[in-house]
């Protein structure tokens, strides 16, 4: 498990941007586990499948041959087509937690991640606790809901109050998966810019 860095945290905590920058600095790919869950949510929405139907979700993932292409920019393919531009919408935001709570869907995503040879930086909700528990370098990013909502508002066609409500709802749904590993370094990014978080992680890795 040497050469694996995990960066976990709740929605809009900055983990994707941080993971991308840390991976770039280290010269390794990064893995965005959330894109696979988002792909399942998107396919369910398009097919009219109930996101509570675990078996139907797995069938969609297999039928559409969903794959994650890691790198400095992660892409998700379905039937060989790039699904990535469709994965960050309010509709997917509201559906993805329902998809991610299913044990067999989580097992499917985890299996895809474990197929990637290290070194890499993996970001998500439970990379350091469930997927790569033996990784030597673990980080957990957090921030207040208000700060995270302001960040997400810059990325979505919604107003702040609506984004905050969605984030609080998702936090509640994700509570079982999103918590720090016992040996993770927890960073509250509420008052930190992107560069400061990246440098804090790189300094810890250097030490």
Per-residue pLDDT of 137-163, as tens digits, reads 999 999 999 999 999 998 888 899 999
User: What residues contact residue 31 under an 8 Å CB cut-off, 6+ apart?
Assistant: 68, 70, 74, 113, 116, 120, 121, 122, 123
pLDDT tens string 83-102: 999 999 999 999 999 999 99
Q: Which of 2, 122, 11, 8 is nearest to 70 (CA)?
A: 122
> What residue spans define the domains of the chain?
1-29+119-207, 34-115
pLDDT above 90 (res 52): yes
Mean pLDDT, residues 37-53 taken together: 96
pLDDT of residue 2: 63
Q: Whole-prediction pTM value?
A: 0.89
CATH class given for the domain over 1-29+119-207: alpha beta
CATH topology of domain 34-115: Rossmann fold (3.40.50)
Task: Retrieve residue 52's tokens.
Answer: 């509570």
95 with 33: CB under 8 angstroms? no
CA distance 104 to 87: 21
pLDDT tens string 103-120: 999 999 999 999 999 999
């Amino acid at each position: 498990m040497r050469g694996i860095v995990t960066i976990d945290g709740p929605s809009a905590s900055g983990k994707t941007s941080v993971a991308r920058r840390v991976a770039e600095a280290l010269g390794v790919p990064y893995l965005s586990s959330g894109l696979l869950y988002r792909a399942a949510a998107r396919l369910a929405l398009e097919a009219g499948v109930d996101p509570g139907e675990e078996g139907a979700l797995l069938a969609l993932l297999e039928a559409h041959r969903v794959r994650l292409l890691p790198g400095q920019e992660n892409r998700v393919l379905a039937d060989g087509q790039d699904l990535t531009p469709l994965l960050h919408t309010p509709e997917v935001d509201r559906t993805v937690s329902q998809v991610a709570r299913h044990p067999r869907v989580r097992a499917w995503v985890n299996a895809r991640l474990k197929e990637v040879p290290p070194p890499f930086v993996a970001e998500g909700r439970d990379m350091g606790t469930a997927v790569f528990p033996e990784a030597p370098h673990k980080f957990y990013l957090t921030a207040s809901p208000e700060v995270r909502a302001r960040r997400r508002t810059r990325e979505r066609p919604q107003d702040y109050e609506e984004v905050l409500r969605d984030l609080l709802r998702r936090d509640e749904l994700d509570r079982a998966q999103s918590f720090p590993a016992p040996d993770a370094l927890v960073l509250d990014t509420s008052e930190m810019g992107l560069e400061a978080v990246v440098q804090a992680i790189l300094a810890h890795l250097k030490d």
